Amino acid sequence: MSLQLRATPELVAAAWLKTVVGDRVATTLPKDNSSWAASGFCTLVVAGGTPNMYVPLRDPAIGVDCWAVNPQSQKPPWNRAAALVTAIEAACWDHPAIPQTVTLPTGYPQARVLSAYTVGEARRIHDDASSYARYSIPGLVIAWTEVPS
């Protein structure tokens, strides 16, 4: 018996964030920072939320960290990391563009994102030993449902 692949909060959040910041999103930061030094990178983790018990609607809170690095300097590029945060916030306010279908990896159903908004202000995270600039969005709430196949 094979299991049917189902959309997950991490997959949907990554797919939606890629529509905002491009292919610079994952659950972990790439070890080789040369691939994202020029543009920054976003990592995400499910931080909370409760699936709806009556309908197949999910609205998890996703913690998002926006990273930037300058390999030639020990000075963190704060403005580059902040630019990722502001792009995500602006996308949340672009209400006509939010209801959209996002494509998940091969084998997974598509998901329909119905709304996206942030809870809590992004904050600067200091004292990174690697001199990375990092802003943390405490909660990006994305309401979504699987698209029936």
pLDDT digits (tens, 9 = 90+) for 16-63: 999 999 999 999 999 999 999 999 999 999 999 998 999 999 999 999
Q: Does 106 score more than 90 pLDDT?
A: yes
**Cβ distance 44 to 23 under 8 Å?**
no
pTM for the model: 0.94
Give the C-alpha separation, 49 to 30, whole Å: 27
Q: Does 127 score more than 90 pLDDT?
A: no
Q: Which two tokens stand for residue 20?
A: 């905002």
